[in-house]
């Protein structure tokens, strides 16, 4: 789930976490089987290679996409799934790739709606002014590489396994974090949950302001950011960022502190849902209403995963699709609706 810098990420008012997880995983799948899936089976007749996907994109066709295909957006000229330094890359599912084809089919004559619509669907904030050239990468993964559902509990399991220091992330704080995100009222969303956990003001966040005490961010959250050090966007590295938090943070290990370290070290921004679905406060491209008239439920988008970050040259197959973002002055549809 990208922050305002570049994605996102990735990134859905659901009241019970288990119910959300069931929605993410689909009928008949357990969280364990989905999060540890390696090489998904291709569905008969569906697009199963990046070149097939690009051909469908160019022809403005709406096609089913095999779960063996994944997608990510990246700054044009990038050489890896996510910027260097990140431990994990956020990636879109085949479900999202199908929606991107639908956007291309529906709004191909208005290319800014396609490009910005994809970034909105992914979970980019700050799209009113976003002007960084951005591409869509469609790819397959090497044999044996697994994807994970980026639920909060997944992150803490990965930290236990790969980084160590389980005392840095107390179960009580993890529970408080999940509880805050699973007990949303009918008009609350994940930005509301982020504000509740961290103190950071919703309006200021949506205006693109940095998380500081000036916008209400609390001491635990800001202390976690400071202890973890620079994010990978600013020259840091995810694993060392987590280790620094574990050893340098001396404040209370609260839900706010845990949310802060995920924010800083792995790009789990304020739009991140913590359940594997995307969300944005902009208008959903597939709901023909202005953003203000869309319900919270209608602003949840598609499925997202995380996968170990790697360079493009490690991918068995891939294709790069430049996105036409138009000019910021052409993006009134983010508020007024796409149709």
Q: What is the pLDDT of residues 156-165, one digit of tens each?
A: 999 999 887 6
pLDDT exceeds cutoff 50 at 18? no
Domain ranges of the chain: 17-148+277-336, 152-266
Predicted local distance difference test score (pLDDT) of residue 187: 87
pLDDT in tens, 32-67: 333 343 444 556 689 999 999 999 999 999 999 999
Q: How far apart are the first and last CA of the chain?
A: 26
- What band does 16 get if pLDDT is binned at 50, 70 and 90? very low
**How far apart are the C-alpha atoms of 68 and 317, rounded to whole Å?**
11
Q: What percent of the chain shows pLDDT beyond 90?
A: 84
**CA 201 → CA 23, 173, 214, 216, 244, distances in Å?**
29, 21, 9, 6, 26
**Do 105 and 113 meet the contact criterion of CB atoms below 8 Å apart?**
no
Partnered with residue 72 across adjacent β-strands are: 137
Residue 19, token pair as written in the block: 């119910």
Residue 192, token pair as written in the block: 């509301």
Q: The pTM is what? A: 0.86
Predicted local distance difference test score (pLDDT) of residue 125: 95
Q: For the chain, what is the mean pLDDT?
A: 89
φ/ψ of 80, rounded to 5, equals -145, 165
């Amino acid at each position: 789930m990208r922050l305002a810098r570049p994605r996102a990420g990735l990134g859905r008012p659901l009241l019970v976490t288990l119910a959300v997880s069931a929605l993410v995983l689909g009928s008949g799948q357990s969280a364990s089987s989905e999060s540890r899936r390696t090489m998904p089976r291709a569905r008969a007749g569906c697009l199963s290679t990046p070149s097939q996907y690009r051909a469908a994109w160019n022809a403005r066709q709406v096609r089913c996409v095999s779960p063996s295909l994944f997608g990510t957006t990246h700054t044009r000229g990038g050489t890896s799934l996510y910027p260097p330094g990140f431990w994990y890359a956020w990636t879109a599912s085949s479900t999202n790739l199908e929606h991107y084809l639908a956007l291309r089919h529906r709004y191909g004559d208005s290319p800014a709606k396609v490009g910005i619509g994809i970034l909105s669907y992914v979970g980019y904030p700050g799209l009113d002014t976003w002007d960084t050239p951005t591409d869509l990468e469609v790819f397959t993964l090497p044999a044996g590489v697994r994807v994970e559902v980026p639920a909060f509990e997944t992150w803490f399991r990965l930290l236990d396994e790969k980084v160590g220091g389980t005392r840095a992330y107390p179960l009580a704080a993890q529970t408080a974090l999940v509880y805050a995100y699973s007990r949303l009222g009918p008009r609350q969303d994940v930005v509301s949950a982020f504000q509740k956990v961290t103190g950071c003001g919703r309006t200021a966040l949506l205006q693109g302001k940095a998380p500081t005490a000036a916008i209400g961010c609390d001491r635990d959250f800001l202390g976690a950011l400071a202890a973890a050090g620079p994010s990978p966007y600013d020259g840091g590295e995810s694993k060392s960022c987590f280790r620094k938090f574990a050893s340098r943070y001396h404040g209370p290990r609260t839900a706010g502190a845990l949310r802060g370290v995920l924010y800083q070290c792995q790009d789990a921004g304020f739009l991140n849902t913590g359940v594997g679905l995307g969300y944005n406060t902009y208008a959903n491209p597939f709901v023909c209403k202005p953003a203000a008239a869309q319900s919270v439920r209608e602003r949840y988008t598609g499925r997202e995963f995380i996968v170990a970050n790697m360079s493009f040259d490690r991918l068995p197959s891939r294709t790069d699709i430049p996105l036409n973002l138009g000019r910021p002055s052409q993006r009134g549809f983010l508020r007024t609706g796409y149709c």
